[in-house]
Structure 1
Amino acid sequence: MGFAKFLAHHQWIVLFMVAALSCNLAFAGETPNRLDDLVKEALANNPDIRASLQRWESSKAVIPQVKTLPDPKVTVGHRNIGPQNEVMYGLSQEIPFPGKLGLRGEIAARQSDRIEQDYLATQLAVIARLKEVFYDLHFVHDSIRILQQTKLLLQEFEQTANARYSVGQAAQQDVLRAQTEISRLLARLATLEQRRQSLHADINRILNRLPSDPISAPEEIQFTPMRYSLIDLNAMLDQASPLLQGRQKTVEQSQEAITLAKREYYPDFEVNALGIRDTVMKTDGYQVMLNVKVPLYYATKQREGVNEAVASREAVFQDLQALRQELLARIKDNVAQTERAEKLIKLLRDAIIPQSRLTLVSAQASYAVGKVDFLTLLNALLTLQENELEFHSEMVEHKKALARLEGIIGITP
């Protein structure tokens, strides 16, 4: 078969290729947005991440404060008794019972560790959200491209139907149906354009840009199957997830708080050193005192403090268990979504879409010789369109599920 005959028999395939090339040329002047570049920008500029980092820095500054002795007190006074005039000057220092300051430092350290895990979890959550929006934007761009391709073919179908109608080989309803489908596509394109603008604003918000800042088309995404099994991911949750690690640090902090509460049964001390100067007799003296804080009301104070710390530890431990169960359920859900998407991607790519294209070619050839009506040809085209949209949708859902898993575990699954 010569090239001219090939064009004559497969004009719809040629038109489809030309339409695809035309849509791709529309973005030829743009440099595609790379996801890695957007992730780096978000890590550097996102307000939630920066605020979380400052909270971590603030918590680290608390540790040396609580491990330090209370500020000493300086005493200066004057006493007049009859002919005596005395000037007093001295220093007093509170000294907590040995071990209390160390325990307070450990509690502050565990608090700082927890806030560090919150910082890491915030990073993962922001990046996971950015990736989801990026993939949604990618699907919008793919949808616009596919619908524009279909619109060009429908316009060609309309011209063909109009030509056949003019010679009495087709009904006027063929022309009207083609025009109706073109109008429906224009409405869908308008909705997609609004969605594209909304996603642009969402990405700019995450990157701390102005909502109206321009964003070029996203780079192409590649199918990457999940590397780990559900069992592996569940094991990684306990080892690497900042969400779970942060709650575990809170449990450790609560355990240290119980130890400190029990240490409150022991007394604190205060040492006073006072110098005395008799200005009349020109004599000097000194006074040293040791004050002991007696936990006299331990039954209603220190004991209840221990009970409070124990109950708090138990509550935090149960929160940890609840969070772990929730994260395991989310992992299972996202793994199920990933597995479903992988199956559908392979089925659509290897079977359904090639079959739909062959069906369209067959319908075009049969319509040319009057063996099928225009509705059959139109359904073949729209079926191919929806199958391609579903393929790109499943590609995006697969990527989004992997992004959510990474946000939970902290490791690319």
Structure 2
Amino acid sequence: MKSKESDRGRSILRRGRAVVLAFLLATGCSLSHQVREEVHTAFEQRFGNVEAEAAPYAQVPVQHEEGEEAEASSPALQPARSLRDYLVLALKENPDIKAARETVRARAERVRQVTALPDPFLQTKTLPEPVRTAEGDNPFVLGISQKLPVPAKLDEAGRIALQETRMAIEALQQTRLRVLADVKRTYFRLYVLDRSIEITEANQSLLQGLIDVARTQVAAGRRTQDDVLRAQVELSNLEAELIDLRQRRITAAARLNELLDRSPDEPIPSPEDFDIRRVDLTLDDLFARAEKANPELKRVREQIERDRHGLKLAKLASWPDFSIGFEWILMDPRKPFKPPINLQTGRRPPFSRLSEAATDNWAINVGLSLPIWFDKIQGGIEEARRKLEASRYRYRSARNRIHFQIEDALERVRSQESLARLFRDTIIPQAEQTYRVSQASYSAGTSDFLDVIDNWRKWLVFSIQYYRLLGELERSLADLEQAVGLSLSDTGAP
């Protein structure tokens, strides 16, 4: 009889272990595998080929001198000098991007944590006065128990962690696009500063020639010394402008090195010349592409899905959790109770000697929680519902903001493109011609020196303004790419 009971107990234990194992496999393993696959896919396929990813963002119409061929640029073989080189380096080395990648990995590790069972609980019970039974004294009990939440609770908690990992992946892409845009903005700021320095230095030589002409006129008695002094003042002013431009160039180079995680004084060669970008984009097409590609919108959509699972989990709080436990009951042997001899028969009545063997005993415990605090449960449900509504409003806000950013950037692009073409094709040639005519008239003695200086200054300002417009155009295009979430080459723009 005792053997049959032991066999039945062992059978119950085996079945219990099988149930717990199936419970673990059903709740945690599939989601853990899924999140690992998604992170691996994102890192290897979506973010793995940085050279190919950077190429569309570096497609600007570069100008080459006649007879000059563009050299292939490989960041692994030579120092960075082209926009593409800097973009590749930023994607590989920028610390903000690296931090965002580690955040993705950290979020992914949450899945297997929240889908795992709680730690089992081990407890002992010592009785100073052992419980006396027919089978012996019971001085000590050792027990272990395991809480078993409803599988749906662990599943929803895992899906919340999975959604947060997806949010982190989109936040990583958002960081990468921001860094790419920052690199482009800084690169084109350097371009404008370098061209401004070149133009200013060239105008120093030009102004020195004007001073020589003025001195010749003064020596011939046709002009006064005022003309020479005015030209020298302008020359000194150019030197002051050069000092400011060179300082700003150092600052811009340090900013670019910061984005590349390099020393601030790392040399930055002068950016290549490029032509005006032709822009042929429609607002509706950009809006549609942003809905699919913008990582901020995708992140908030994942957040909405996360909060849906959060609401489901809050509703599951009304479901009880189970627990299963096992107890080992130690039995100490003791002398059995011997009844007195029957005086009539002269014999001792039969008695049990089980206490001499003192066979240890065991027990299985099963329990469940009682979710009776309904007000607390309802509060959790309402909190989760409000979070879901807040995320929906955040999506609308982000969508409106991104639509504004796209429209604003596109209008700036169109305006700057038109202005750049106007300056290049009309204003600068006219200003140069006006200066040349006034210079010839001054040399012939038929024009005032103030007219020459005024026309020269306008030519200088318009020339610098043209390159500023070029830089502003490319920076606005960088803003547009960041808002859309794609390079303009990927949107089908020329």
**TM-score normalised according to structure 2 size:** 0.75
Give the whole-Å Cα distance in 2 for the aligned partners of 1:225 and 1:53: 35
- Alpha carbons 2:80, 2:86 under 8 Å: kept: no
Specify which of 361, 364, 370 is matched with residue 439 of structure 2: 364
1:267 aligned residue: 320
1:68 pairs with one of 110, 116, 122: 116
Separation (CA, whole Å) in 2 of partners of 1:402 and 1:367? 44
Q: Would you say the 8 A contact 1:87–1:279 is kept in 2?
A: no
Q: Distance in 1 between matches of 2:79 and 2:109?
A: 44
Structure 2 residue 338 is the aligned partner of structure 1 residue 290: no
Q: Does 1:212 align with 2:265?
A: yes
User: After the TM superposition, which residues 14-413 of structure 1 pair with which residues of structure 2 at under 5 Å, given as runs?
Assistant: 33-79=81-127, 80-82=130-132, 84-280=137-333, 281=355, 282-298=358-374, 300-413=375-488
Cα deviation, 1:26-53, whole Å, max 9, x if unaligned, reads: xxxx988211111122122211111111
Give 1:395 shift.
0.4
- Aligned-residue RMSD, C-alpha: 1.9
Q: For the Cα contact (< 8 Å) 1:31–1:216, is it kept in 2?
A: no
In structure 2, how many angstroms separate the alpha carbons of the residues matched to 1:329 and 1:408?
9
TM-fit CA distance, 1:122: 0.7
The answer to which of 211-220 and 100-109 deviates more is 211-220
SS at match of 2:360: strand
Kindly state the Cα deviation for residue 76 of structure 1 after the two structures are TM-superposed.
Answer: 4.6
Counterparts of 1:185 and 1:32, CA distance in 2: 31
Deviation at 1:364, TM superposition (A): 2.5
Identity, in percent, stands at 30
The separation in 1 between residues aligned to 2:283 and 2:86, in whole angstroms, is 29
Report the CA distance between 1:187 and its aligned residue.
0.7
State the distance in 2 between where 1:171 and 1:341 align.
43
Letter in 1 for 2:420: I
The residue type equivalent to 2:328 in the other structure is G
Name the stretch that deviates more: 208-217 or 83-92: 83-92
Contact kept, 8 Å, 1:146 with 1:389, in 2: the verdict is yes
After TM superposition, the structure 1 stretch with the greater mean CA deviation from structure 2, 203-212 or 108-117, is: 203-212
TM-score, length-normalised on structure 1?
Answer: 0.89
Following TM superposition, by how much is the alpha carbon of 1:173 offset from its aligned partner in structure 2, in angstroms?
A: 1.5
1:74: how far off? 3.4
Offset at residue 410 of structure 1 (A) = 1.8
Give the Å deviation of 1:87. 4.3
In structure 2, C-alpha distance between the alignment counterparts of 1:73 and 1:31, rounded to whole Å:
60
Map Cα deviations across residues 170-195 of structure 1 (whole Å, 9 max, x no partner).
22211111111101111111111111
Contact 2:276 2:421 (8 Å CA) reproduced: no
Report the Cα distance in structure 2 between the residues aligned to 1:31 and 1:49, rounded to whole angstroms: 21
- Counterpart for residue 33 of structure 2: none
SS at match of 1:283: coil
My pick for the range that moved more, 103-112 or 362-371, is 362-371
Deviation at 1:391, TM superposition (A): 0.7
Contact 2:277 / 2:417 at 8 angstroms: preserved in 1? no
Q: Per-residue deviation at 1:399?
A: 0.3
Contact 1:201–1:211 (CA<8 Å) still a contact in 2? yes
Q: Which ranges in structure 1 are unaligned for 5 or more consecutive residues?
A: 1-20, 22-29
CA contact (8 A) 1:402 1:412 kept: no
Asked if structure 2 preserves the Cα contact closer than 8 Å seen for 1:31 and 1:217, the reply is no
Helix, strand or coil: the match of 1:215? Answer: coil
Partner-residue secondary structure (3-state), 2:325: strand
Deviation of 1:329 (Å): 1.1
1:362 maps to amino acid = V
Give, in angstroms, the shift of residue 349 of structure 1: 1.2
**Structure number with bigger Rg:** 2
